[in-house]
Amino acid sequence: MLKQEVRLVQASLSGGFILPDDKFALFTEHEIFGRRSPLVSRREKAKKFVGLLRRDLNSLRKGDYVVHEEYGIGRFLGMEKLKIVDSTQECVKIEYAEGDMLYVNVDYVGKLQRYASEDGFNPKLSKLGGAEWQLMKTRAKGKLKDIAKDLIKLYADRKKSKGVSFQKDSIWQHELEASFVYEDTPDQVRATSEIKADMESENPMDRLLCGDVGFGKTEVAVRAAFKAVMSGKQVAVLVPTTILAEQHHNTFRDRLSEYAAKVEVLSRFRKKSEQKQILERLEKGEVDIIIGTHRLLSGDAKFHDLGLLIVDEEHRFGVEAKEKIRQLRANVDTLYMTATPIPRTLYMSLSSAMDISILQTPPANRLPIDTYIVSFDGKLLQSVIERELGRGGQVYIVSDTVKDLAKLADFVHRRVPAAKAGIIHGKMRAPEIERTMIHFLEKKLNVL
């Protein structure tokens, strides 16, 4: 192309692009003349997006993966200012396969999304100009349509079917809720009311309870479980890990200790003989609330009269487990709890196929977390540990190398006689890690 040459080409493009190394820029007439919409000008639309997405751009770090809806997966390399004709434009710099670069004007960052995946997974970068990304999108759309059809049919069938209609609140229900040592947040009050209304209706409940850690999801679940027990029904609480099962067992047992509800837990920490006895009592209706991991989904776990299923962190279960959950909750009220809802679950919630309750108000008087960055100081570490143990608290100490853990534990034992320290790391066997975590949860250890 000749220097400073301008060409006009008739084609269908949603937006332009810039290739600085090749000294080439392409603009659409909408970008030049602002005719993107007869109702809203490009500049006004850009303003609407920029304010919203600037926040997202600020949270991106160099090297993070992003997805452009038209060009696919790339690597975020930061922001760059490019001089185009007589103006300077701020652009997002994205690296693609074979070192190709794409510069996206901040007016069009609405086409970008942060890439989401399991921790540690590095995706393959898309190739600019190839058809691979479009084929991938087409295949994904086809699969999503199939999943959506199945899910919509499932939820429609559940809406039509008759479920358990639980009794109105008893005097014991009011007493339990009044015994909560903290003041309910407005969100907790609303969520509890919504769940109770679902349980008292004839249709099976399908509700997602979403809230950050420490915002009171478990207390809401305890109240729902007790309501089911007061109506003569059994409750199953399904969790993805043994540690979480033990935590929930302790919480449910402590909260319901003054009432007749019988709470049990099924986990690998129970002897086989104990598990067998619990399962026998469960089938006879002698267990009101059973808390467990995948063990609850095995063929020998049979209920006398299951009325409520509570599933914590559903996205952490595998495909096979999810299918068994589906079978288990055929005509049973189901409450999902999560701090990180999976996209499909969240989508079904927002599309009214499943109801959603959100806990977004922190408990009253909850103090902000104090964070200090300092060089390693033995005396300071000793002082901090002693202060925390003195108030009956516990301490986590995190090291970036496994080999230093034993030295840290020895340091703690020498400097703080009251410390009962344990060690866990990724090279240990899972049962050993779980045992140590349980000891920490039971406060047999106070430093980990």
254-294, pLDDT tens digit by residue?
A: 999 999 899 999 988 788 899 999 999 999 999 999 999 88
* pLDDT average, residue stretch 165-180: 92
By mean pLDDT, which of 35-44, 281-290, 377-386, 437-446 is the weakest? Answer: 35-44
Question: What's the rounded Cα separation, in Å, for the pair 209 and 228?
Answer: 17
Residues 195-214 have pLDDT tens digits of: 999 999 888 888 989 888 88
Model confidence over 354-376: pLDDT tens digits? 788 888 887 877 777 778 888 88
Confidence of residue 48 (pLDDT cuts 50, 70, 90): very low
DSSP conformation letters of 334-372 = EEEEESS--HHHHHHHHTTSSEEEEE-SPPTTPPPPP--
Confidence of residue 169 (pLDDT cuts 50, 70, 90): very high
Torsion angle defined by CA atoms of residues 428, 242, 255 and 301, in that order, rounded to the nearest 10 degrees: -160
Identify the residue with better confidence: 119 or 406: 406
pLDDT of residue 341: 53
Provide the residue type at 409 as one letter.
A
pTM across the whole model: 0.61
Q: Kindly report the backbone phi and psi dihedral angles of residue 57, in degrees, each rounded to the nearest multiple of 5, phi listed first.
A: -65, -40
Which residue carries 């949860």 as its tokens?
441
For residue 123, pLDDT over 70 is answered with: yes
**Residue 120 confidence (pLDDT) above 70:** no
CA-to-CA separations, 9 to 4, 16, 28, 33, 96, in angstroms, rounded: 16, 12, 10, 16, 26
What tokens were used for 343? Answer: 């996209």
Instruction: Give the number of residues written for the chain.
Output: 448
The tokens for 364 are 């009253």
Taking each helix axis from N to C terminus, what angle separates 217-230 and 186-200, rounded to the nearest 10 degrees?
Answer: 30
pLDDT tens by residue, 213-253: 888 999 999 999 999 999 999 999 999 888 889 889 999 99
Instruction: Give the torsion through C-alpha atoms of 20, 21, 26, 31, to 10 deg.
Output: -10
Over 60: is that where the pLDDT of 40 sits? Answer: no
In the predicted model, what is the mean pLDDT of residues 148-177? 80
> Mean per-residue pLDDT for 40-55?
40
pLDDT of residue 20: 78
Average pLDDT in the 427-436 region?
84
Average pLDDT value for residue range 152-178:
81
Give me the pLDDT at residue 51, please. 29
Calpha distance 88→170 (Å, rounded): 68
Of 22-26, 78-82, 241-245, give the lowest mean pLDDT range.
22-26
Percent of the chain at pLDDT exceeding 90: 30
Residues 6 or more apart in contact with residue 92 via CB below 8 angstroms = 57, 66, 76, 79, 103, 104, 106, 109, 112
Whether residue 209 contacts residue 359, with contact meaning beta carbons closer than 8 Å, is answered with: yes
pLDDT score of 420 = 92
Candidate from 85-89, 317-321, 342-346, 397-401 with smallest mean pLDDT: 342-346
264: which 2 tokens? Answer: 């049990």
Predicted pLDDT at 172: 94
For residues 9 and 234, the model is more confident at 234
User: What value does the mean pLDDT of the chain take?
Assistant: 82
Q: Report the pLDDT value the prediction gives residue 278, as an integer from 0 to 100.
A: 93
Q: For residue 144, how far is the Cα from the chain centroid?
A: 21
pLDDT in the model for residue 37: 39
Q: What is the pLDDT of residue 140?
A: 81
pLDDT of residue 345: 56
- pLDDT of 45 reads 39
Give residue 193's pLDDT. 96
Q: Residue 1's pLDDT is what? A: 47
Nearest one of 17, 13, 4 to 89, comparing CA atoms: 17
Q: What is the pLDDT of residues 373-414, one digit of tens each?
A: 888 888 999 999 999 999 989 999 998 888 889 889 999 999
